[in-house]
Each structure stands twice: as C-alpha cells, then as structure tokens.
Amino acid sequence: MLTLAISSRTLFDLHDAHQIYLDEGIEAYRSYQLAHEDVPLDPGVAFPLVQKLLNIRHPDTKESLVEVVLVSRNNGDTGLRIFNSIEHHNLDISRAVFSNGGSPYDYLSALGVELFLSAHHADVIGAIEAGYAAAHLMTRKAAIQTDQQVRVAFDGDAVLFSDESEQIYQADGLEAFRQNEHSRRNEPLNPGPFSAFLKKLHDLQTLFPPGQAPIRTALVTARSAPSHKRVILTLREWGIRIDEALFLGGQDKARFLQSFKADIFFEDQLTYVKTASEHIATGHVPYGVTNKQSEN
C-alpha cells in the first residue's frame, strides 16, 4: 500500500479561512471555522489527485492500494470542519493528525508515509531533510478531472536523482555539465528525494496487466541529448520503467505537462514551478543546490 500524507490546505480550498488567520490571528480563525463547521469546503489543488488515488484497487482482491492521511496544523476543534468536508465529499480518509500549530512532519515516520504534500514550506523542508519525498504545493482551486488514470510527472535532477550534476552546471556552466554527463554516461546517478516514491508507483503498476495500470508516469527534464543517456541507464539500473520521457533542452515545461495531462508535477526549480502551477497541480521540491542558492 502507498501511504500519502496531505495537509488540509492542499486537500481543500481554505483561502478565506487562512486569510482571516493571517489578518486577524488564531482566535478569529477559530471562531470563523466553528461558525462554518457545517459548511463543506470546496476541493483544493490536490483534491482530484487524492480522489483518483483513493479509487485505485488491486485488480484481483479489489482492496484499496492507496491510503491518504490528513495532517494539519489545526487542532481538534477547528479540524472538525475538515473532517465534515471529507465526509461530505465521500473521501475514504480515516486517519488524521491535528498538531495544533506544531509541525506535523514529526509524525510521518509513525504513519508510514512515503509522500508528503503541504502548503507550509517549512514543514516540507523538514520532511525533505528527514529523508521523505515531500513537496510544497501552490494552493488554488481544484482542476476539472478528465479521466480516472493518475498521471504523475517528475523533473530529473534534484527530484528523481541527486543534484550532483546540477552542481556542476551551476558552478561551471552547460558545457562542463555536458562533458561530465558524457564521461560518466555509464555511471548511474545517485537517488534523489523522489526516487523511492517513483519505485513505489512502479511496483503498483506491475500489479496490473500491461496497458491497464491506473497510474502513468513521466520524466519531464530540461536535459537533452547526449545527457539523456545517463538518465535512461540510471532508471534501468534501478529496475524502474517510466512510461514517458521528455528531454526538453531547457524549454518551458508547462505546455508539455498539459499535453501529458499531469495530475501533479514535481520540480525543484521555482521558474518551472511558477509557470506549470498556472495550469496543473505543481509541487516545489526544496532540495539541492538551486534551492540553497535561493535561500542565501
């Protein structure tokens, strides 16, 4: 079973309530949530993804293959509106952590989580540093679903793979990067923060007959030939089959992600995150040299 932890602000549209919290403080927020306790929240940016994941069943036993756990900085009182909304939307979510302002990522290990999605940047950084696949989702209303297949897209360097090659690019430029990838083309890249999550998706896909998996994956990277070879051989070394691979040579990724019909895209560079998030759910992965430079 794949276990996903998701924050309330990514599952539901909590924009109005969160704005009250920012403008007027915690007590005003609490009063607002209690007064609207029986008013269902609208779906948030990750709602369609969660809905699709919860519908994935084993092809033989029909048992659920994905569990979603709610993690929230709310307390039990203010969190009741969230659980009421879960019930209203018929989501099969029964486990939750309400940390009352504390960091919920401390509970990821106990929950057995393999992916953490949150709208709180500091929580995501903490989860990444603790070794979890985690992403900061840019919040907005949910997109309209077009089909039931879960389509997940990943950037390569500093997401699926380590940032070892990106460090060379940042320090010495494109030509040095190309030379390094050519000379080390037969040497697998080290795993990045999302490598284990991709492996989990691959394992779920193998449960289904060819062409019938409810999950489809794509690598969407700024790399181009000849640096593509090391990526392909790395995935082969890991024993992972990815459905689609797009080597875009630095082009903006948003239109390609729309063509893939991605339900979510994981990317470390904010430039691509900002353009992609205008169209699809996009998770910023705050990992690697690019993000360290932006923090300084």
* Assigned domain for 143 exists: no
pLDDT band at 13 (very low <50, low <70, confident <90, very high): very high
Per the prediction, the chain carries an average pLDDT of 91
Instruction: Tell me if 265 is assigned to some domain.
Output: yes
118 and 197: one domain? no
* Same domain? 221 vs 118: no
Based on the fold, state whether residues 155 and 290 are members of the same structural domain: yes
- Do 168 and 133 reside in the same domain of the chain? no
Residue 181 shares a structural domain with residue 290: yes
- Which positions are annotated as active-site residues? 155
pTM to 2 decimals? 0.93
Are both 17 and 68 inside the same structural domain? yes
HSE toward the beta carbon, residue 127, CA cutoff 13 A:
34
In a domain, 102, yes or no: yes
Flag whether pLDDT at 222 surpasses 90. no
Q: Which residue has the higher pLDDT, 265 or 141?
A: 265
Cα three-residue angle 247-248-253, rounded to 5 degrees: 120
Cα 206 to chain centroid distance, Å, stands at 21
Please, what is the end-to-end C-alpha distance for the chain in angstroms? 39
Share above pLDDT 90 across residues of the chain, in percent, rounded to a whole number: 70
CB atoms within 10 A of CB 294: 10
Beta-carbon-side half-sphere exposure of residue 15 (alpha carbons within 13 Å): 10
Asked if residue 33 and residue 58 are part of one domain, the reply reads yes
| Number of domains comprising the chain | 2
**Residue 223: which pLDDT band, with cuts at 50, 70 and 90?**
confident
pLDDT of 296 higher than 60 = no
Residues 212 and 280 placed together within one structural domain of the fold:
yes
User: Which residue, 103, 137, 171, sits at the end of a domain?
Assistant: 137
Q: CA 11, 196, 63, 209 torsion: positive or negative?
A: positive
**Domain check: are 228 and 155 in the same one?**
yes
- One domain, residues 100 and 55: yes
pLDDT band at 286 (very low <50, low <70, confident <90, very high): very high
- Kindly state the percentage of the chain with pLDDT values over 70: 98
* Domain span including residue 156: 150-295
The CATH number of the domain where 59 resides is what?
Answer: 3.40.50.1000
Domain boundary among 89, 113, 137: 137
Last residue of a domain, one of 102, 137, 172: 137
Give the residue-averaged pLDDT of 266-280.
Answer: 93
Q: Is residue 207 part of a domain?
A: yes
pLDDT of residue 294: 62
Same domain membership, residue 217 and residue 276:
yes
Q: Examine the domain organization and report whether 131 and 10 are in the same domain.
A: yes
